């Protein structure tokens, strides 16, 4: 089957004439295929549907959530506690593992919908001719060679070569990124034409917005353009996030270190000290339990979940939990233009007459805006040339604008006509509806529209259309002084200036004709009209995107535009919003001629990429990643899906985005606002900061516990704390103190620093130093308090109780050090995280229960403490806090060189 389907793509159908295509496919435009031939081709090519890949079962996806080295370590801790018959701790750890897995399972469960969404884009039914008779069939029954009939509103059911067409326009933005409907024809295209320039083709999944056509099916199923995108999505490997890669490396190193330490101290205690084997075995298990950060996966999950919630409040919906922090490391954003950086709403921005140039404010189809000339407001009703041009724009129009159920202005009709209509509404011409007696509709053959209307007791012909065609029909131009001979050189110059700004030009003209005239013919229009002027139309950039790009650049994040639109338009929009210099760009043809190595070099130099195909977008993302960039990709179309999936984080548009693009992405912008990405980057950096703060907190406290036990073995003294007590400490500090760090708000300088290096170790020199420094302080103070009290005659159980509280107090005070990794703990913003103080209160209550509740004394082998013994933990905690703040101060001085 596959080899037969490959035959569909051997021909470059867009380069062949309609007759050659029909002959090559042995098809007849009048009769179509016979039933017998259809059957043969169905057997050869298969059904017209996207192949369904092998789908992972829910059980497989659930089990994969446990495939993480930290989870293995955590499950090992559960086994150890079970062997020690500390069942409460066992079930707590098991619960943490299960909750962590379920959250990941639920967050990632929708990821496999992308291929299903693409399949749904195929049309359900289509009209064909078979055996000389028209019939409606299911689209999946189509075969190459079928003759199909397409009209406005139809979804194209397969890749087809147009044989006949009449004013045929297709909306292809979801596939090509083209911002306006594409006018198709039957003429062969160049062999090197990119998808958006193959005007003789219509592609599966796109929508006919105007006209009708007869076409022959040339590619079906997996061989269509949309099928090839599906294959690209399938071939893109699943990725992991920088944080997960770092945590995995950290977990492996930590696991090896824990086992080596435990083994070494077991051997030391056995061969050098005279511990009983059972006691030594318990001590070694205690070292393992003390060193394992049981709460880390849960704290990470909770911190990420809080980040997800915060982002959702700012219109950024995260689909994969670990992707939250990826945004903090992103250093390149590849953005689609249409609908992402631009509004995807054609807007008239400039009017050029023989005398003046006017600017029009406002964007989209909201009819609010002003007309200005040399920065001075203009009233259209007081400017006869401008008014007549606006009247022509209002009359030569078959579109409508109005508010939808949400109060947003929407267009019904052609986007260019919508731009002209909105412009006329801004001039107060909404109710200007003169009697229309006849019309010549816009068609690709003549590229203009003409309308015969009764205006002010005069019969007037108005025209709008392509400037070159309207100029051919005019011999005069309208000025404030009256009619003048047409100055074609002047208009050519103005068109070039407007084109350089990325504006698409439309021309308008009129002629007052015989009052008794009631119809118009094409022959009547030649060289009799008066040229009114030009209207420059653009798909305007989002104003908020301009500010967002500035913020990205100040935060060290590059923004690159990758679009299917024309190079001049892309450069002009890019210059307006701050991407590129308005001169440099690469187009799809350039990319196709480059090797991967050459593209890796060029991608650093260029910020604008135009007339791109899905393959080009995918190659660009790969090239950036090969250069070491952490790449985000935004998009809303089917054509963006492979690159969205390949990017380190794919960002889809929530309002105008296709389901395919959403399902292939990690994040969806609920408001389709590029500026939301900046907010998401802020949150991503904050999430990473908070995870690092949690690591700064959890690992040294684990280190202190392990250090106490190792020191005891080295000194040959009784264990200052038991494994059960260690688990208690880890559990209560994780669910209170460590959790509070997840709620730390954004630091003021979060967007003033460059993105972190995604490849750097999460440990780092400061991290290793801080772990060692704090571990020795808290561990040393705990060991010192235990030894001193025991030497003063206090029972082992009572001394252990004070030692546990010393450890906990050290962690409690150290929490406030961790809220600012490098800066002073006490200062501006000290009270801006109320959860920190709630956590401290909760921990104090839990520790009171640990010390004074009889059943807790029995369970953990502790004793109730006299009030004076609380001075030791409080003093130890204060010493920890002051020493860490002093260490921060010294490091800041060293860094500043003073």
**CB neighbour list of residue 875: distance below 8 Å, 6 or more residues apart:** none
Pair type for strands 332-335 and 631-635: parallel
Cβ partners under 8 Å of residue 832, min gap 6: 745
| Buried b / exposed e along 231-268 (16+ C-beta atoms within 10 A) | bbbeebeebebbbbebbeebbeebbeebeebbeebbeb
The residue ranges of DSSP E strands in 602-694, in sequence order, are 608-610, 631-635, 649-653, 667-669
> Do strands 529-538 and 474-479 pair parallel, antiparallel, or not at all (unpaired)?
parallel
User: 375 burial class (0-12, 13-18, 19+ CB within 10 angstroms)?
Assistant: exposed
Angstrom distance (rounded) from CA 817 to CA 801 = 25
* Alpha-carbon dihedral 219, 221, 225, 229, rounded to 10 degrees: -160
336 flagged as catalytic: yes
Bridge partners of residue 348, in order along the sequence: 537
Query: CB count, 10 Å around CB of 670?
Result: 15
Cα–Cα distance measured from residue 501 to residue 498, given in angstroms and rounded to the nearest whole number: 5
**CB count in 10 Å sphere of residue 399:** 17
Rounded to an integer, what distance in angstroms lies between the CA atom of residue 49 and that of residue 5? 12
DSSP string for 351-369: EE-SS-EEEE---TT----
Give the sheet arrangement for strand 667-669, strand by strand.
316-318, 667-669, 649-653, 631-635, 332-335, 558-562, 608-610, 586-587
Closest by CA to 400, choosing from 388, 409, 389, 392, is: 409
Closest CA to 638 of 664, 604, 608, 676: 664
Rounded (5°) CA angle 50-56-59: 155
Reference 817, options 701, 702, 729; nearest CA is 701
Output DSSP code: residue 611: S
The rounded Cα 435 to chain-centroid distance in angstroms is 50
Q: Where are the alpha helices (DSSP H) in 382-531?
A: 384-395, 415-426, 467-472, 488-500
Rounded distance, CA 646 to CA 680, Å? Answer: 19
Beta strands 558-562 and 332-335, pairing class: parallel
* Residue of 146, 336, 539, 636 marked active site: 336
Pick the closest to residue 14 from 4, 24, 5, 6 (CA basis).
24
| C-alpha to C-alpha distances, 532 to 114, 347, 449, nearest whole angstrom | 50, 19, 15
**Cα separation, 798 vs 726, whole angstroms:** 16
Closest CA to 148 of 127, 168, 163: 127
In sequence order, which residues have a C-beta less than 8 Å from that of residue 322 and are 6 or more positions away? 104, 240, 241, 243, 244, 304
The span from the CA of 495 to the CA of 488, in Å, is: 11
Catalytic residue positions?
Answer: 336
């Amino acid at each position: 089957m596959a080899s037969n389907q490959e035959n569909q793509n051997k021909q470059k159908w867009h380069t062949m004439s309609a007759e050659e295509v029909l002959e090559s496919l042995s098809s007849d435009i009048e009769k179509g295929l016979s039933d017998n031939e259809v059957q043969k081709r169905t057997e050869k090519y298969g059904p017209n549907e996207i192949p369904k890949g092998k789908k992972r079962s829910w059980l497989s996806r659930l089990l994969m959530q446990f495939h993480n080295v930290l989870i293995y370590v955590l499950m090992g801790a559960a086994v150890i506690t079970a062997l020690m018959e500390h069942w409460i701790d066992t079930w707590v750890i098991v619960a943490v593992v299960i909750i962590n897995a379920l959250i990941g399972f639920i967050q990632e469960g929708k990821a496999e919908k992308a291929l299903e969404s693409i399949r749904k884009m195929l049309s359900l039914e289509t009209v064909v001719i078979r055996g000389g008779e028209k019939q409606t069939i299911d689209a999946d029954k189509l075969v190459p060679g079928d003759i199909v009939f397409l009209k406005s509103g139809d979804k194209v059911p397969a890749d087809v070569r147009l044989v006949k067409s009449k004013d045929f326009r297709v909306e292809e933005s979801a596939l090509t990124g083209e911002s306006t409907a594409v006018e198709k024809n039957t003429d062969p295209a160049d062999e090197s034409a990119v998808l958006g320039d193959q005007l003789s083709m219509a592609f599966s999944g796109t929508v006919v917005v105007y006209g009708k056509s007869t076409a022959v099916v040339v590619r079906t199923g997996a061989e269509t353009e949309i099928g090839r995108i599906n294959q690209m999505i399938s071939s893109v490997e699943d990725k992991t996030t920088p944080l997960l890669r770092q945590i995995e490396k950290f977990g492996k190193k930590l696991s090896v270190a824990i086992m080596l330490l435990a083994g070494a101290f077991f051997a030391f205690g056995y061969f050098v000290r005279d511990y009983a084997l059972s006691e030594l075995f318990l001590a070694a298990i205690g070292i393992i339990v003390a060193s394992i950060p049981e709460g880390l996966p849960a704290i990470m999950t909770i911190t990420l979940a809080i980040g997800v919630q915060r982002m959702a409040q700012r219109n950024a919906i995260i689909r994969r939990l670990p992707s939250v922090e990826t945004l903090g490391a992103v250093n390149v954003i590849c953005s689609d233009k249409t609908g992402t950086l631009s509004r995807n709403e054609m807007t008239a921005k400039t009017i050029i007459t023989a005398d003046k140039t006017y600017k029009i404010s406002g964007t989209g189809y909201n009819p609010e805006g002003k007309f200005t000339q040399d920065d001075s407001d203009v009233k259209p009703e007081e400017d006869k040339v401008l008014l007549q041009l606006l009247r022509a724009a209002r009359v030569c129009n078959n579109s409508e604008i109005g508010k939808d159920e949400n109060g947003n202005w929407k267009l019904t009709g052609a986007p260019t006509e919508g731009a002209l209509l909105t412009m006329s509404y801004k001039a107060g011409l909404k109710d200007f509806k003169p009697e229309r007696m006849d019309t010549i509709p816009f068609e690709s053959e003549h590229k203009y529209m003409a309308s015969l209307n009764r205006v002010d007791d005069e019969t007037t012909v108005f025209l709008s259309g392509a400037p070159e065609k309207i100029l051919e029909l005019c011999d005069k131009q309208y000025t404030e002084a009256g009619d003048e001979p047409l100055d074609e050189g002047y208009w050519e110059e103005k068109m070039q200036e407007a084109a350089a700004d990325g504006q698409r030009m439309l021309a308008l003209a009129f002629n007052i004709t015989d009052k008794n005239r009631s119809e118009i013919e094409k022959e009547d229009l030649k060289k009799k009209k008066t040229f009114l002027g030009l209207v420059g139309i653009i798909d305007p950039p989002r104003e908020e995107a301009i500010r967002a790009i500035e913020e990205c650049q100040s935060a060290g994040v590059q923004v690159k535009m990758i679009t299917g639109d024309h190079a001049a338009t892309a450069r002009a929009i890019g210059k307006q919003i701050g991407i590129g210099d308005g001169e440099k760009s690469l187009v799809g043809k350039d990319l196709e001629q480059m090797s991967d190595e050459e593209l890796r070099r060029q991608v650093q130099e260029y910020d604008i990429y135009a007339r791109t195909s899905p393959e080009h977008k995918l190659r660009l993302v790969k090239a950036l990643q090969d250069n070491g960039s952490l790449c985000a990709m935004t998009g809303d179309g089917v054509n963006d899906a492979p690159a969205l999936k390949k990017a380190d984080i794919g960002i889809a548009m929530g309002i105008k985005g296709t389901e395919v693009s959403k399902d292939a992405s990690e994040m969806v912008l609920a408001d389709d606002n590029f500026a939301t990405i900046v907010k998401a980057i802020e949150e991503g950096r904050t999430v990473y900061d908070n995870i690092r703060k949690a690591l700064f907190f959890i690992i040294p406290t684990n280190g202190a516990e392990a250090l106490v036990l190792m020191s005891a073995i080295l000194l040959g003294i009784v264990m200052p704390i038991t494994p059960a007590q260690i688990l208690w400490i880890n559990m209560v500090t994780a669910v209170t103190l460590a959790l509070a760090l997840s709620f730390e708000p954004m630091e003021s300088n979060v967007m003033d620093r460059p993105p972190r290096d995604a490849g750097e170790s999460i440990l780092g020199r400061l991290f290793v130093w801080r772990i060692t420094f704090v571990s020795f302080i808290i561990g040393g103070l705990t060991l010192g308090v235990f030894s001193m009290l025991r030497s003063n005659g206090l029972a082992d159980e009572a001394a252990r109780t004070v030692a546990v509280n010393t450890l906990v107090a050290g962690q409690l005070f150290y929490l406030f050090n961790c809220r600012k990794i490098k800066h002073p703990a006490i200062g501006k913003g000290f009270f801006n995280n109320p959860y920190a103080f709630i956590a401290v209160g909760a921990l104090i209550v839990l520790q009171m229960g640990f010390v004074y509740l009889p059943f807790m004394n029995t369970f953990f082998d502790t004793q109730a403490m006299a009030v004076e013994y609380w001075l030791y933990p409080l003093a130890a905690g204060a010493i920890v806090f002051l020493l860490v703040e002093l260490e921060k101060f010294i490091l800041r001085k060293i860094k500043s060189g003073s």
